[in-house]
Structure 1
Amino acid sequence: MSKIQLLDSRLANQIAAGEVVERPASVLKELLENALDAGSESISVDVEQGGVKLLRVRDNGSGIERDDLPLALSRHATSKIRGLDDLEAIGTLGFRGEALAAISSVSRLSLASNVEGEPEGWQVTVEGRDMAPSVSPAGHPRGTTVTMRDLFFNTPARRRFLRTEKTEFNHLEEVFRRIALSEFNTAFRLTHNQKVIHQLPAGLDDTLRAARVAKLCGKGFIEQAVPVDVERDGLRLHGWMGLPTFSRSQADLQYFYVNGRVIRDKVVSHAVRQAYSDVLYHGRHPAYVLFLELDPAMVDVNVHPTKHEVRFREQRMVHGFLYSSLHRVIAGVRPGQELAGSVADEGGPAAGMDAAMAPSQGNMSLTSPTGSGGSLSHPPGQAYPSTGGGVFGYGQGARQADAYGALVRGHVGESAPAVMPPANENETVPPLGYAVAQLHGIFILAENEQGMVVVDMHAAHERITYERLKQSWAEDKVRSQPLLVPVSLAVSSREADFAEQQPEVFSRLGFVVQRAGPETLVVREVPALLRNGDSESMVRDVLSDLLAEGSSERIAQKLDELLSTMACHGSVRANRRLTIAEMNALLRDMEATERSGQCNHGRPTWTQMSIKDLDRLFMRGQ
């Protein structure tokens, strides 16, 4: 083995470049972060051949003084930290001082800059193999321009790993998108081969910010997103989270920022996934643009060479804050609530949505409980005005179902009052309107002020039942209802042993199950909310889930799935004919129930077609 010796600076920088510079997109990330750290109000990016031939970033930030220009290209030279205390509370995007040195070692790099009050600027130039920088005067306004040419011209082996121009530009544009979403107060411009791709003015108000998000993430996202702004215990979370109905087949529209830095973190991912846990269809992914602000001392950003990962000093607190904030926002999304900051196109369903899960709920305005000005147009749980006639023409025979009790109990109160549309235009029409008819025993057709509403009655009832079961469980009030005729089940001896050994688990869920033989169980009581459900199938599925989890601790963790299974069995089934009163009772309960836009499996429960949609469909006015 040869003797130990120090590497020369060029070789050391090229080794470091292996961590910092993977492709043109990596270079852009470092240069944009430097420009933002310099306090720039405007940043322009010019790219040729996907960034391989040319990548230029120009800003109007604070600039670099002449004497510091050669030093800026040295390894581990930075103006952003001075000592260990600074490293433990980093407030800038960059801090290691190795990016420019790494980039200059594998490209032809020039850096021109000027500071406030200087009559002229200066430029430093470096070319990969020759690491000696040369400084010369340059006409340049206040700010900095970094120009990189011919990436990997001196390392052909690494250049061969680059992809096509289109692929490299797609990666570069994604980096541009992430950075442009992180700093709304800065204007951004991107050109590729002399063609303007993005021109983003500074977002100084909510409208311009929402317009930037729509431009970078798609109009469909902002139309189907809920604004978030929650602050507690020194933490602030704000941004936009997509409605569950705007889910994606891939996790390709998820942007999370910590103090302005886009990151990927297991704690964050788990908290977001939990918040969406029972409103997303299997295998789907939520969409969001969210910003977390906290004391820089509470997060360590120096844990990965690319700075994409962070470590929170109080992981449990951050996880709990994220989960509870997002969970409440999703829970508060109900029909009829106003979407603050929406730029929705009133003409129809959101454009650009993932087609597999895109109901046309875009015309219904929605918001989170944390937003301002959003409230139900009529208090939930109260009866809407009744009349003897109206445009629907039901007559007075329609009877009001007692909230949801009628559907669960299987009958309608004989003396219940009618639920009819308003007698005059001054009276309020509920968000989901009034039922008109039932279609094929599956869908409810209703009319509201916007147009036509179609509701999947089983999916909607399932969500309502599920939310009530969760609430009853949380309040320790899952009430049981004795069965007039106990149900006998033939089970395996293992299942019978489990039911006998852990009766308290079943009792907590609202069941009374007793062993009647080596392989026989008798169900004597079921949850009152699910009295009309399929008791035998319900108990079998719950028993199967309990056995699969094995312990009461795991059962507690999987409780929502258990309650979801119970709710599915206890919901009104397809092909059951409902009266107009029962249908209206369902609509009113949907308006008052959390997460009523999706069933327990993530499927949408209702969709809206506006009058404009219907006019377009039938080419009226064309």
Structure 2
Amino acid sequence: MPVIRRLPPTTADRIAAGEVVERPAAAVKELVENALDAGARRIAVTLEGGGVDRILVEDDGGGMGPEDLALAIERHATSKLPDEETLFRIQTLGFRGEALPSIGAVSRLTITSRPPDGEAHALRVEGGRVDDVAPAAAPPGTRVEVRDLFFATPARRKFLRSAGVESGHAIEAVRRLALAWPAVAFRVTVEGRVHLDLPAADRAGRVNAVLGPDFAAAVVPVEGRWPDLSLDGLAALPTHSRATAAEQHLIVNHRPVRDPLLRAALRVAYRDVLASGRHPVAALFLEIPPDQVDVNVHPMKTELRFRGADSVRGALIASLRRALGTGAGVGGTRVGWDAAAAPAPAADWPSRARAPEPAPAGGAVTWADGSASPAPAPVGFAEARPVFSAPPPPPPVQARFHLPPGIATVPAAPPSLPPDAAAEGPLGRPLAQLLDTYVLAEAPDGALVLVDQHAAHERLTHERLSAQLVSGGVRSQPLLLPAVVDLPAAAAARLLGQAEALSRLGLEIEAFGPGAVLVRALPALLGNPEPGPLLADIAAELSEWEESTALERRLDAAVARLACHGSVRAGRRLNPAEMAALLREMEATPRAATCSHGRPTFLRLGEADLARMFGRR
């Protein structure tokens, strides 16, 4: 008795359909791609029962005559490969002969099509059984109706989710294609209600319509040009991130993809500015010669294989880092909590802003009084010292109310800085220091800005250390008396194993008996931090990276730790010159909107935010 048998064509078609038609959204995606390849300028999608009961896709594309219509539902028949060489330079989204037979094998399929200068014809397929082509009445274009999806493979139906969930996946599939094809109008109707209605637009208009005004208000442009690659798009600042990677829209040659290489490049570009567990938001459009990319490595064509993968990855990372290298306050900025939510009680809303360390009891408000002196020059904050003596504040007004604990009595009105100080940058002029931890400033447009002094200075120090590292090594400062630091044996061994790499960071160490490390020099930029906690933290950071981890990544982690220990702490009183210098340097330092751990360095409250918080709108 033979062991191997040839499957009936119907069974083979249903098995093949499982690779292409995973769920209703996959059928919608294939049909909409066919419409786009046919040159459609308007595409309408209708869903019933989550797409299981009915899918209708109508377009005004080129349409098909009766001969082409009969061939369209046959295996290995396509209009998209005019010759064999085209297979190696695909310029279409898919193969019409691939999707339609698969859908027809597991559903009741009706295709009605009419070319611009011909008559309309219809063809019906039920569970793989094909009827004859018949005359029909229809406008130019193609109308594809899918009913009772998976009726021929009921086991597949058992694994589908609710109608609402399946509809959501289908809408998302159309949404991604709409982002890639802004010149085409899209409409999606679910159970008689319009859920997506996008008229034809330019790329910027489509991005704004698909991703929303919040994204449009918090982005920077991304652009790059190389001989075989061009990159355009928008990337959200780190303050506009998400808990998942769902809003990462990567378009390659008008094809939406979820390619691992491109997503990894996006993650690497943001790794120093996003907190752990957060994901960037971006809409990036790559154009690459078709013969430099293979689109047939995944049944759904959502993953690609690039001929020059390293070059593509490097170009994407370089372009994103260049775009994100803006100073604080440049580009869109959002507050650090949901300002659109219902107004919170006055005692509640400040708790949502992160304090890096517990603020000391009895912290005071320090007004930035610069009226007797010109605004300080934008010197480095680490070296900033008072450049003027602030006059004593005027006598406090007799209080007509009781101030809460921890807030000192304030004058009737804060002294003003010189008029030109307000126009120095987007973070504005410093007004006060709150709780010896936060700098309060007024932006040029009147918005309030709260700066976390430790987080902000941490980023400034990080960028300086990184710049020195790139230019040849961090400058070190020898200690007058070398310090001996006792550590667990494993931590000491880990540090000594990386002694050569740490020397590039200005940290010179050597062995000093079992479980002890001798520190001879520290990075000059850090001042005089305690070497014990610093070495303990760097050892802990190194323990999280395997030996195979690239040296660059381990050095980045160590730089972040150095920056944290070399930064001004919460609880330190700042004078007016230091507050102003901090704001000016934040504006001039790349990636200063977040600290080395990805947390925000400042919060901005505009007129609309304040109105919402107070319930005025």
Is 1:224 paired with 2:218? yes
State which drifts further: 225-234 or 581-590: 225-234
Query: What is the Cα deviation at residue 477 of structure 1?
Result: 4.1
Distance 1:535 1:134 in 2: 84
Query: What is the Cα deviation at residue 160 of structure 1?
Result: 2.6
Match among 451, 454, 464 for residue 468 of structure 1: 464
Query: What is the Cα deviation at residue 142 of structure 1?
Result: 1.5
1:92-491 aligned at under 5 Å gives the runs: 92-95=92-95, 97-118=97-118, 120-128=119-127, 131-204=129-202, 206=204, 208-213=205-210, 217-332=211-326, 334-338=327-331, 394-396=370-372, 400=376, 403-404=379-380, 407=382, 412=385, 421-423=417-419, 428-450=423-445, 451-491=447-487
Give the letter aligned to residue 412 of structure 1. R
Deviations 1:312-369 (A, max 9, x none): 111111111111111111113x234356xxxx999x97769xxxxx9999xxxxxxxx
Distance 1:218 1:615 in 2: 21
Q: Is the 8 A contact 2:473 2:505 kept in 1?
A: no
Is 1:565 paired with 2:538? no
Q: Is the 8 A contact 2:64 2:142 kept in 1?
A: yes
Pairwise CA RMSD: 3.2
TM-aligned CA distance change 1:296 to 1:455, over 3 Å: same
Distance 1:309 1:497 in 2: 42
State which drifts further: 447-456 or 508-517: 508-517
**Percent identity over paired residues:** 43
Match among 516, 520, 523 for residue 524 of structure 1: 520
**For 1:488, what is the secondary structure of its paired residue?**
strand
Report the counterpart of residue 361 of structure 2 in structure 1.
none
TM-score, with length taken from structure 2: 0.85
Q: Is the 8 A contact 2:33 2:94 kept in 1?
A: yes
Q: Is the 8 A contact 2:182 2:203 kept in 1?
A: no
Q: Is the 8 A contact 2:328 2:590 kept in 1?
A: no
Structure 2 unmatched ranges of 5 or more: 342-349, 354-366, 392-414
Distance 1:610 1:593 in 2: 23
Query: What is the Cα deviation at residue 61 of structure 1?
Result: 0.6
Distance 2:67 2:615 in 1: 70
Query: What is the Cα deviation at residue 400 of structure 1?
Result: 3.9
Distance 1:494 1:526 in 2: 22
Q: Is the 8 A contact 1:399 1:417 kept in 2?
A: no
**For 2:50, what is the secondary structure of its paired residue?**
helix
Report the counterpart of residue 89 of structure 2 in structure 1.
89
Distance 1:75 1:301 in 2: 20
**For 1:134, what is the secondary structure of its paired residue?**
coil
Distance 1:313 1:586 in 2: 46
Distance 2:508 2:33 in 1: 62
Query: What is the Cα deviation at residue 526 of structure 1?
Result: 1.0
Q: Is the 8 A contact 1:514 1:522 kept in 2?
A: yes
Distance 1:545 1:211 in 2: 40
Give the letter aligned to residue 305 of structure 1. P
Distance 2:573 2:418 in 1: 25
**For 1:286, what is the secondary structure of its paired residue?**
coil
Deviations 1:139-180 (A, max 9, x none): 222111111111122332222333221121112112111211
Deviations 1:11-46 (A, max 9, x none): 221121111112211110110010000011000111
Give the letter aligned to residue 440 of structure 1. L
Deviations 1:460-500 (A, max 9, x none): 00000000000000001411123344422223566666766
TM-aligned CA distance change 1:502 to 1:267, over 3 Å: closer
State which drifts further: 477-486 or 65-74: 477-486
**For 1:30, what is the secondary structure of its paired residue?**
helix
Q: Is the 8 A contact 2:469 2:505 kept in 1?
A: yes
Q: Is the 8 A contact 1:422 1:429 kept in 2?
A: no
State which drifts further: 480-489 or 431-440: 480-489
Q: Is the 8 A contact 1:401 1:585 kept in 2?
A: yes
1:2-21 aligned at under 5 Å gives the runs: 2=2, 4-21=4-21
1:543-562 aligned at under 5 Å gives the runs: 543-545=539-541, 554-562=550-558
Distance 1:393 1:569 in 2: 30
Give the letter aligned to residue 201 of structure 1. P
Q: Is the 8 A contact 1:442 1:458 kept in 2?
A: yes
Q: Is the 8 A contact 2:330 2:587 kept in 1?
A: no
Distance 1:617 1:500 in 2: 53
Deviations 1:220-263 (A, max 9, x none): 32322323232222211222222211221222212212111122
Distance 1:179 1:50 in 2: 19
Q: Is the 8 A contact 1:400 1:416 kept in 2?
A: no
1:605-620 aligned at under 5 Å gives the runs: 605-618=601-614
TM-score, with length taken from structure 1: 0.84
**For 1:273, what is the secondary structure of its paired residue?**
helix
Q: Is the 8 A contact 1:402 1:416 kept in 2?
A: no
State which drifts further: 579-588 or 223-232: 223-232
Distance 2:237 2:276 in 1: 15
